[in-house]
A and B are shown apart, each in its own frame.
Chain A
């Protein structure tokens, strides 16, 4: 099995390749730089390094969000179009699950999160069981304060993982939840995790792959509000 993995769902740009069932190459940058001009050169360069051609790829794994809308779209568009053009399947994987996978082999609760501005986060609750990362609570968008209140009720330690950890650490520490400490490197999305996770995630036809934004656009939210108001008054 040869596989390409792409993650541009956050500021982190990640590309990884599997060749003959082995992780063969991995490229990651932790920069605030645009993904669109750098993703394809990264894929090209990495494939050249391991002497792999586009037609050698059997499957593509992609981080499909939640995260940055534009960033996720770049990775998803690239992955789905490559997969369609090569007639191979795509495995869309939650960016939070990719991040949560860094906690292996911790067997307690794991809360990977990405900052979503204005005090909100994209997060979910995960837990390993027999080497498989299971979803305890699906990914969603909510205020960090709210999320911490919910987690507090579990009365159990929680392993928080996030490239935006510092931004929320005061709230986390003040919540009184027992936390697990991890080195900085564990807080970063790692593209080789997609290769590992893709074994147990379902494939999706290329046409059907779209980002998991977890939020409707502001314009749609306002429109829905207006519709409702219109109905109530009419």
Chain B
């Protein structure tokens, strides 16, 4: 397995070159680029500038592990308004285009967003229908779409069986799951998701979570790897069982307040322990 970390972890006042140098020095093999998050990678970044970005990554001794985005929280594929859905589809298309330009073969998509206003049945149906043509686009580009399990935040596809059925309904070989082992906290066990989805896993986000903390035990909060309640030995064993040998991508929600570069090193070391199975 290979290690990657998101470019959105790079401190905001750092430049790209300084950030890439840090990622490399901390021991990562690649970097996850977040479309729309950082100034160097926006929807209006030209193809030429995307290629230049790719060259900068390679010059730093890294590769692009995948292209992600948080833009679908504001423009979901499941929106009722067709113009918003068109914008959401364009975001995925741009992810696919840029992944191709950058030499990556996976993109992360937040497939649907259930809200007070837009109910579950609509979101399900709309997401399935949106992903079919996008799957065709992805396949033509040699890219796979990984729908992320954002569980509680999305209020959608909360169980692994349900996610499995969703992917069955999309029924496209270029559409799978970008599994976040930290997002499952209150409603399951990451290792079971890994077993169930196996070959459909496109990438894995890693972070840890402290379950049911606080005075009332009603809050689950993200934390550093190996510090929370994820059962890492079980997760590692499940990865072995399903033969997952792809990218592990660090997505640390909790950030260091001081010495932010230190988090890159600590996370890389924890990922090394996970990969080697020294747990």
A associates with B: no
